[in-house]
Homo-oligomer: A and B are copies of this chain.
Amino acid sequence: MPEAVKSAFDDELLDVLCQIVGDRVTTAAAIREQHGKDESFHACAPPDAVVFAQTTDEVSRIVMACAARDVPVIPFGTGTSLEGHVAALHGGVSIDVSQMNEILAVNAEDLTCQVQPGVRRKQLNEHLRDTGLFFPIDPGADASLGGMTATRASGTNAVRYGTMRENVMSLEVVMADGRIIRTARRSKKSSAGYDLSRLFVGSEGTLGVITEVTLKLFGIPEAISAAVCSFGDMESAVNTVILTIQSGIPIARIELLDAVQMDACNKYSDLNYPVAPTLFFEFHGTENSVAEQVKQVQNIAGELGGTDFSWARKAEDRSKLWQARHDAYYAALALRPGCKGIATDVCVPISRLAECILETQVDIRDSGLIAPIVGHVGDGNFHLVLCVDPDDADEMVRAEDLNERMVMRALAMDGTCTGEHGVGYGKIGFLEAEHGEALSVMRDLKHALDPKNIMNPGKILKV
């Protein structure tokens, strides 16, 4: 595969782009800067130009124009990724799809909807509210559904409802040569050929530009209840999670916060929870089913020493509780005013989770860093928020070491370097260790679908 070289973007291409989208193309420095950086600490790499596309046909023509000149193409949704996914490492054209934000269809009988890639998750749920349906995937940010598809995002509801992998039914994609394809039909199942939908879920713009997404929807549950419970130690909390899932309890959310994070949340959100390993639960179902789930989980937690069960049955109490969980990142940063956060993202088989977290806590202590832990523990996925001063080179080295040790520990436990954030260019160095020979197959696929290496070059795979 050709190494991506510095973009051959020039005035002639700019003219062509103007012919395609009129005044919706810009080379203004501020807009380019904004499109070269996501929410992470990774360095900004601005594209040569930003195009605000409004139709699939425009996207196809833009890609063809870039392909003809070997100019890189970087799809852009909301820029809320966490591993430098949108950085234009080799220059090129950022295709911003935020104006492709129409909800095209809601099929209530089939529990599906079709959206343009710039639709954000909150916008979709707002739109769905009157139908009694919702879309459950909730990464921290109010991300675009195209971007969530591209990074195989998940969040707190994944333990029950799955990730983008399970919830994308079909995609429309513009390929690296401008071909427009639909990856699948709208039936729930199919055995008709290769699973192209899943190939593009998690491909981070390196194989094509997603221009439409068909998603699964779910009925808003009749009853919802939430609770918080503290534990004497990490193993008891994790064992509660394991037993809950083994028992087949259809828990909707089960989130872990360690003592450091609970302390941060108490301070940030003016709460008064014990400073101890803590689980946040949410139960969805009928009134009876929720009552039964609650009883089962309370029994399991009780036997493992869980104490101080605090319930939130009313919507406003639940929302206060989950607000504290969603604010965990900001609460962590507030532990050290002025610091920046680096979010790590390993995921391991749940049987290894307690061990992985405990060894990581020892590492944190040894590193001298502040790094609270939050986790989607039902999936074996947890994050540290490393609270760092990016200008302190020594500290950044310690942070990198800590992250690398944690990734290698997760891999040794048959886990992954990223549970939900994706690779971007931040995690690219770990993929060899994670996939070994399989990485050569990924490279074969990339080469087949993007022979010129113009699609978001420098992400997922080193060429």
Contacts and interface: CB of A to CB of B under 8 A. Distances in A.
A192 B288 contact: no
Contacts of A185: 411, 414-416, 434
A332 interface: no
Nearest to A188: B379
Interface string A108-134: 111110000000000000000000000
A243 B286 CA distance: 15
A61 interface: no
A330 B460 CA distance: 51
A195 to B, nearest CB: 5
A379 B189 contact: yes
A293 to B, nearest CB: 9
A110 B350 contact: yes
A362 to B, nearest CB: 21
A187 B349 contact: yes
A416 B190 contact: yes
A348 B430 CA distance: 41
Nearest to A442: B194
Given A158-B189, A419-B189, A166 B163 contact: no
Contacts of A440: 179, 181
A8 interface: no
A436 B193 CA distance: 12
A421 interface: yes
Contact of A199 (B190, B199, B285): B199
A440 B182 CA distance: 11
A423 B201 contact: no
B416 A351 contact: no
A246 to B, nearest CB: 6
A212 to B, nearest CB: 13
Given A192-B431, A414-B186, A418-B192, A350 B201 contact: no
Interface stretch (A258-266, A272-280, A443-451): A443-451
A118 to B, nearest CB: 21
Contact of A442 (B193, B218, B379): B193
Given A221-B248, A436-B182, A445 B442 contact: no
Nearest to A416: B190
A289 interface: yes
Given A248-B218, A434-B185, A195 B202 contact: yes
Contacts of A461: 193
B111 A245 contact: yes
Contact of A191 (B349, B414, B422): B422
A203 interface: yes
B250 A193 contact: no
A108 B246 contact: yes
Interface in A164-212: 165-166, 175, 179-196, 198-199, 201-203, 207
A107 B349 contact: yes
Contacts of A345: 191
Contacts of A405: none
A442 B199 CA distance: 11
A13 to B, nearest CB: 25
B435 A193 contact: yes
12 contacts: A153-B191, A188-B381, A191-B416, A191-B421, A192-B416, A193-B202, A194-B442, A194-B446, A198-B198, A219-B246, A286-B296, A444-B448
| 10 cross-chain pairs, A with B, having the tightest CB-CB distances, nearest first | A448-B448, A198-B198, A109-B351, A190-B416, A181-B438, A186-B414, A187-B347, A219-B248, A191-B422, A152-B191
Given A182-B437, A190-B416, 12 more contacts: A110-B349, A153-B191, A163-B189, A179-B437, A181-B438, A185-B414, A187-B410, A188-B379, A219-B248, A286-B296, A441-B449, A445-B445
